[in-house]
Amino acid sequence: MRIGFIGLGNMGRHMARHLIHAGHLVTVHDMRSEAASEHLALGAHWADTPAACAHDAEVLITMLPNPRVVEDVLLRGGAAEALPEGALWIDMSTSTPAAADRVAAEVLDRRAVRRLDAPVSGMARGAEAGMLQIFVGGTADDFRMCLPVFEAMGDPGKVLHVGPLGAGYTVKLMINLLWFSHLVATSEVLAMGVKAGVDLGVLRNSLLASPAASHFLENDILCVLADGDYDDSFAMMLACKDLGLAVDLGRDLGVATELSALVEQIYRRSKAQHGDLAGEMSPVRLYEALAGREFRLPHPSAAPDGAALSTV
């Protein structure tokens, strides 16, 4: 399949590489030409502009940092206008239905270009291993046609058709929102418990033996507890962006988001204190400061084989 791929960042560079290895004819573009060096060495073609990347593509994939950049690339970068009639645009960015709808309304609808939204979870390590979780919104026919493309980048058992256009974006935002909420709630509980004098390991084991147990407490927070690793593979500025998109979606839908808005505020406070590029688990540090100690276990139990440290 002829695939144009735009966005060779921490995630996209691995995803594009897997598509090349799967035998697709891949043309790549990124604002940094040096990001494509490994892909060109594997046989990919370079495009100087988004429009050139989209020209003659059967499928155009975008993997970009936010909705504004998605619109810039598709509209002002000319990619949407350059797509051949009948081509398919797959946006794998964490974006919003509204941004994709604006692109469609301005260009795609009148040119019979189809589209899917297919954001991913699994972080850079999942992208590197080709084992991403992919949540696809769009028609069943388009999903089936692109399934080999998705399975080249993701875990075949976790490539899910989640509904019509926009459903993929929504599912991904809800996954991130719930994960960030787990982090804040868990951090607050650990801070209170240890400051009250309960041993951190005993507290965690007690929580895991109770109805309050969670995947986050059992697996994801181990990187902090074992190694003091706050997961800088996903930056705080991106986490705050995703939280803002989720809260905005709730507002647009008329759903009260009091808890989500508070989680967003805590994340933004951590970003201000620890920096834009600090790891996504940096809000834990706010609660470590309140507890007067770092959350560390001397010999934490290992995460199960294959367990991801993060789902966002």
User: In angstroms, rounded to a whole number, what is the distance separating the alpha carbons of residues 310 and 312?
Assistant: 6
Task: Say if residues 230 and 284 touch (Cβ distance below 8 Å).
Answer: yes
**The 3-state secondary structure of 3-43, one letter per residue:** EEEECCCCCHHHHHHHHHHCCCEEEEECCCHHHHHHHHHCC
Who contacts 51 (Cβ-Cβ below 8 Å, separation ≥6)? 77, 78, 79, 81, 82
Distance CA 1, CA 56 (A): 11
CA angle, 105 then 110 then 115, to 5°: 65
* 3-class DSSP assignment, residue 115: strand
d(CA 15, CA 17): 5
Distance from chain centroid for Cα 228? 23
Chain centroid offset of residue 161 CA: 17
Among 172, 195, 241, 271, the active-site one is 172
Q: How far apart are CA 5 and CA 19, in angstroms?
A: 9
Task: Please report, for residues 243, 245, 247, 282, the alpha-carbon distance to residue 252 in angstroms, rounded to integers and kept in the order given.
Answer: 14, 10, 9, 29
Beta bridge partners of 235: 279
Whether 172 is catalytic is yes
One-letter amino acid of 88: L
Residues involved in catalysis: 172
